[in-house]
């Protein structure tokens, strides 16, 4: 059988092993022949998959673009609502934390109902939250609408947008996911000037109402995420799939009995031999992102302390954002190359990110800061782009929504804890460079965890090969 057929068999076996208890587009479709004739089958790696990538790209561009423009609204919200800077700044952090930490629950919803309905519902909820925030007369009401309600909606949009295109690709799956993730940087740079223009002409309330319309428009992007049950299967692989399905029938029945005991995670996932490796990856990813979020808050004050102008210091963040977007695309592209394991990309990315973070606090000129942080952004972007391919390689396609949801939740915790801990360290040592040193130390810890995960993966593969022999 050709390489393409072997790849398709493997992907179908993964889908039957880890997603069999889900409903909707996450489960094998059992229907009569007349029903099958009414369903339009879609070939993998076709133009339909790129339509899904486009819709997912726009969704991520909107939700991250909205989230990262909070700083532009800071002064207006402080003046109108009479709140302190730290309190108003918390609204943006709370939104990112909520939409990230909702990942496991959203992953379960995706398993139960599919990517399309979850994404559409999330767009409607986010639109409602933004609209409610635009009528707020106190910071509390703004927090409820902008941070809590919209944060939940963004969480329901984000995860389906990342994993929705994966079932429709074989050859360029990692690249497709990487392109979707590039929407974050593009959305930030696109919405920032638009937000500034609306803010200066009409005020922050109309900014929120404009965001509400954008979120509502993402309903159409969610409709572009076709159900995975519409994917066409090769006839040559049907017998292999049916035999795998019958061999898993006993495990499925046992899993069904345990469904009520597990609200978030699929019990079948715990039986995966690579689940222990996944837990180590969670620790590695948390350590990495604990450090990654620190420079975006503490690098500009460090640059100012080194006699760099405030305008140039702020542009460092833009440089990091641009290179991060390029890195996300590159990470997905590299993971699709033959012979390149996503572990290689992830470990190399963290090592390359740790180097500039450890030496940047010793620099004194603007161009040194600029080049080092550009390398930092590129490396961390590659890490983001390789995360989903790594989960796919280890645990299979059908486990992606739940495992990526857990990964996103840990990143949310890192986003809420990393910058404040670094701030406490800076205040204690009276050294703005201590924040970047802390960032480097956590990245080094991440490298150690990733190496442990690689070793664990090697042991699991050898045990599997021994059992097969």
| DSSP 8-class letter at 5 | H
Helix (H, G, I), strand (E, B) or coil at 32: coil
The 10 Å Cβ neighbour count of residue 158 is 27
Question: To which H or E segment does residue 200 belong?
Answer: helix 183-202
Under 8 Å CB-to-CB from 92, ≥6 apart: which residues?
67, 70, 71, 147
44: left (phi over 0), alpha (psi -120 to 50) or beta: beta
Per-residue confidence of the chain (469 residues) as pLDDT tens digits?
Answer: 444 444 444 444 444 344 333 343 443 333 333 333 444 466 776 788 889 999 999 999 898 888 777 767 777 887 888 776 666 767 777 887 888 888 888 888 888 888 899 999 999 999 999 999 999 888 888 889 988 999 999 999 988 988 888 888 888 888 888 888 888 878 877 887 888 888 888 888 999 999 999 999 999 999 988 886 656 554 444 444 444 444 444 444 444 444 444 455 667 778 888 899 999 999 999 999 999 988 887 888 888 889 888 778 877 877 888 898 899 999 989 998 888 999 999 999 999 999 999 999 998 899 999 999 999 999 999 999 999 899 988 888 878 888 888 898 898 888 888 888 888 898 889 888 999 999 999 999 999 999 999 999 999 888 877 665 5
| Three-class SS state of 420 | helix
HEC assignment per residue over 201-215: HHCHHHHHHHHHHHH
By three-state DSSP, how is residue 42 classified? Answer: strand
């Amino acid at each position: 059988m050709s390489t393409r057929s072997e790849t398709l068999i493997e992907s179908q076996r993964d889908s039957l092993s880890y997603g069999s208890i889900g409903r909707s587009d996450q489960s094998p479709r059992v229907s009569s022949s007349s029903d099958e004739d009414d369903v339009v089958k879609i070939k993998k790696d076709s133009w339909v998959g790129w339509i899904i990538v486009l819709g997912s790209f726009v969704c991520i561009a909107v939700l991250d673009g909205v989230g990262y423009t909070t700083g532009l609204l800071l002064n207006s919200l402080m003046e109108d609502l009479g709140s302190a800077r730290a309190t108003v700044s918390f609204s943006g952090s709370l939104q990112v934390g909520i939409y990230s930490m909702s990942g496991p629950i959203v992953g379960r919803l995706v398993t139960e109902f599919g990517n399309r309905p979850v994404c559409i519902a999330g767009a409607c909820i986010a639109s409602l939250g933004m609209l409610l925030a635009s009528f707020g007369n106190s910071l509390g009401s703004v927090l409820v609408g902008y941070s809590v309600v919209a944060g939940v909606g963004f969480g329901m949009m984000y995860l389906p947008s990342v994993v929705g295109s994966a079932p429709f690709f074989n050859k360029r799956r990692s690249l497709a996911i990487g392109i979707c993730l590039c929407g974050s940087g593009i959305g930030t740079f696109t919405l920032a000037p638009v937000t500034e223009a609306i803010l200066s002409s009409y005020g922050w309330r109309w900014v929120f109402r404009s965001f509400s319309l954008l979120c509502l428009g993402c309903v159409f992007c969610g409709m572009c995420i076709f159900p995975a049950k519409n994917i066409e299967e090769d006839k040559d692989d049907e017998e292999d799939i049916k035999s795998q399905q019958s061999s898993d029938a006993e495990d499925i029945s046992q899993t069904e009995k345990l469904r009520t005991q597990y609200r978030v995670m699929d019990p079948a996932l715990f039986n995966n031999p690579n689940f222990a490796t996944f837990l180590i990856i969670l620790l590695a990813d948390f350590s990495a992102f604990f450090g990654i979020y620190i420079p975006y808050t503490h690098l500009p004050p460090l640059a100012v302390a080194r006699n760099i102008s405030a305008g140039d210091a702020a542009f460092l963040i833009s440089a990091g954002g641009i290179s991060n977007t390029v890195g996300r695309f590159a990470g997905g592209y590299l993971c699709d190359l033959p012979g390149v394991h996503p572990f290689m990309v992830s470990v190399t990315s963290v090592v390359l990110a740790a180097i500039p973070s450890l030496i940047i606090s010793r620099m004194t000129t603007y161009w040194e800061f600029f080049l080092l942080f550009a390398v930092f952004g590129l490396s961390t972007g590659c890490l983001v782009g390789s995360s989903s391919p790594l989960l796919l390689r280890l645990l299979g396609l059908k486990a992606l929504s739940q495992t990526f949801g857990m990964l996103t939740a840990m990143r949310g915790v890192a986003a809420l804890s990393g910058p404040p801990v670094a701030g406490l360290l800076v205040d204690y040592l009276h050294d703005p460079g201590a924040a970047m040193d802390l960032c480097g130390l956590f990245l080094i810890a991440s490298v150690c965890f990733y190496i442990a995960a690689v070793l664990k993966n090697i042991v699991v593969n050898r045990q599997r090969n021994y059992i097969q022999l």
